[in-house]
Amino acid sequence: MRTYAGHSSPAESNALYRRNLAKGQTGLSIAFDLPTQTGYDPDSVMARGEVGKVGVPVTHIGDMRRLFDGIPLDEMNTSMTINATAMWLLALYVTAAEEQGADVSALQGTTQNDIIKEYLSRGTYVFPPGPSLRLITDMISYTVNNIPKWNPINICSYHLQEAGATPVQEIAYAICTAIAVLDSVRDSGQVPAERFGEVVGRISFFVNAGVRFVEEMCKMRAFVELWDDLTRERYGVTDAAQRRFRYGVQVNSLGLTEAQPENNVQRIVLEMLAVTLSKDARARAVQLPAWNEAMGLPRPWDQQWSLRMQQVLAYESDLLEYDDIFAGSHVIEAKVNELVVESRAEIQRVLDMGGAVAAVETGYMKGQMVGSHAERRARVEAGDLVIVGVNAFTTTEPNPLLADIDNAIQTVDPEVEAIAIADLQVWRSGRDSARVDAAIAQLRVDALSDVNLIAATLECARAGVTTGEWSEILREVFGEYRAPTGVSGVIATAEPSESLRAVRESVRTTGEALGRNLRFLVGKPGLDGHSNGAEQIAVRARDAGFEVIYQGIRLTPEQIVAAAVAEDVHVVGISILSGSHLELLPAIIDGLRAAGLSDVPVVVGGIIPDVDAESLMARGVAAVFTPKDYDATAVMAKVLNVVRTANGLAPL
């Protein structure tokens, strides 16, 4: 039983973990901030506004010590949601355990380490697919030989569903990822063939569970069947225990709503049932989001509520007293078989094009998911997919949980970034510079060869190298990567609604009045890689008649301003979900003014509290959109009026 947690600083996160453990939490699930996830130190220009926002900053071994102060790592099962820099964070964790006197070979936990889904959905990738697979392969080989109870990769279909994947796509793309990873480990020769079953036995999965909980439960039974077949037939694993489909789950966040957020409680409970009702496909670990995640960072009390949901199910209900209650159900068997057949076909389609890496590089998988998400949005907007409190049953009494709205979510002290930078400067000045230089030099040498990189990475951790320094060497050797956006070719609405036709006509006539087609720049500043919203806005804006410029994730304010100048746009739309809007939006607005584009309006979408929205509007933002603005066509109509007003035309 876990809650995904971490924020502000290692010391504050440590206090939170210790409180949660005292409440009966049985493991830790660490949320790292975006600079840590993408390999930047707090003083990097790329880290501006992001330090401590969506997780805890861990910059060096000193931070890792503070994070687990008073928490014996040899007694803990720790899950770390970390991908591009997973090897680095594992090295820091191992080093901290060594310093505690722990037997490293007995450590238990998980590193997510699934880079394929980062290219497809979450966006915290750094290196190209080839070098990224090498890092994963090296980690798996090291842990199988040295930390046998560690799960070196947690193949994460969770974020695929968050990015719009259907159950079939979620199953198929996760299995294709597993094939790519297992083939890479097998072909590397780092693990003897007779021990390959041990590799398979340490592969775990992290899945999503949506509110359609019967279908979701069937999805898990299909996963179990497909995984057993794959590991037996493709990899020759004869030990049934090593073929077991081991998975943890975080229930769906895509369906959590800002409107009537109290409804999220029952959504979370129903979604938990999807992965607990069926004994033959039951999750080994469950972590639940909080009811107010669509509004901002949950408070400790909100996380406690989610923990108590799990405890009531486990300790008060009779669920765990029975064998699988769906065994023999013709209805369940038929749905599971349908999912298995369709998933096999999609898996084969990906394998025929060269496997998961090829399907990432061509944009196939990303395009399929963006298309599925666009179809879902269209069904919500049409009312065909009912979301209670959003597009149906919207009449409501005042919510007492939101009476003090400014305190209904956790906020991060704006001084966190400055404090982290100051601490980093102190750390650098107190290190053994010669040892640091030698460790970094060896990392470069090993990265240029085919040597397993764990040994050099462990020495970097012990020497006091920082997250940014370790990553920078690998950036220099491996290069950086920009994944396809998946937007090209996706049509959001095959049959445009009357409202969309009306917006298209208004966009056309406004363009005629201004002498050229309207151009809309959609930008993702900072390190926030959750691009679903930006992609859907880009697709709908194009469908509405705008010429859309979307360059993908992780842009600096300066790059967005340069694109606005080069593309001669009429409006700039910014998507930010990480909470860094108060830092990054003013930088973009000031940059546009300095470039002579003070007449180009800026609109923003994201998880933005009302008080922050007021500040942004006062600073010059023309419109703020949040998750309650679910109708993308209505958003386009408002953006169009922003453009008209900025150009002296009357709103429509």
Residue 410: closest CA among 577, 297, 579, 302: 297
- Residue 530 among the catalytic residues: yes
HEC assignment per residue over 478-544: HCCCCCCCCCCCCCCCCCCCHHHHHHHHHHHHHHHHHCCCCEEEEECECCCCCCHHHHHHHHHHHHC
Q: What whole-number distance in Å separates Cα of residue 243 and Cα of residue 228?
A: 6
Residue 377: closest CA among 489, 486, 490: 490
Residue 176: closest CA among 426, 353, 425: 353
Return the SS3 of 153. Answer: strand
Q: What whole-number distance in Å separates Cα of residue 560 and Cα of residue 81?
A: 29
How far does Cα 512 stand from its chain's mean position? 41
- Give the position of tokens 């090593």: 242
- Residue 4 among the catalytic residues: yes
- Give the position of tokens 């938990």: 272
- Residue 524 among the catalytic residues: yes
Which two three-digit tokens encode residue 252?
């769906």
- Residue 318 among the catalytic residues: no
HEC assignment per residue over 545-596: CCEEEECCCCECHHHHHHHHHHHCCCEEEEEECCCCHHHHHHHHHHHHHHCC
Residue 347: closest CA among 266, 491, 226, 524: 226
Q: What whole-number distance in Å separates Cα of residue 347 and Cα of residue 120?
A: 16
Residue 580: closest CA among 202, 175, 33, 20: 33
Catalytic residue among 219, 335, 524, 581: 524
- Residue 7 among the catalytic residues: no
In single-letter form, the type of residue at position 370 comes to: V
Catalytic residue among 446, 528, 543, 612: 528
Catalytic residue among 4, 119, 247, 550: 4
- Vertex 633: Cα angle to 615 and 253 (nearest 5): 65
Catalytic residue among 7, 53, 159, 581: 159
Catalytic residue among 17, 119, 125, 158: 158
The answer to whether the beta carbons of residues 538 and 513 sit under 8 Å apart is no
- Residue 74 among the catalytic residues: no
Q: What whole-number distance in Å separates Cα of residue 540 and Cα of residue 296?
A: 25
Phi, psi of 211 (to 5 degrees): -75, -20
Which two three-digit tokens encode residue 112?
């997510």
Q: What whole-number distance in Å separates Cα of residue 55 and Cα of residue 207?
A: 20
Q: What is the CA radius of gyration of the chain?
A: 24
Which strand (E) or helix (H) includes residue 637?
Answer: helix 632-646
Catalytic residue among 53, 117, 219, 530: 530
The residues that are catalytic are 4, 158-159, 524, 528, 530
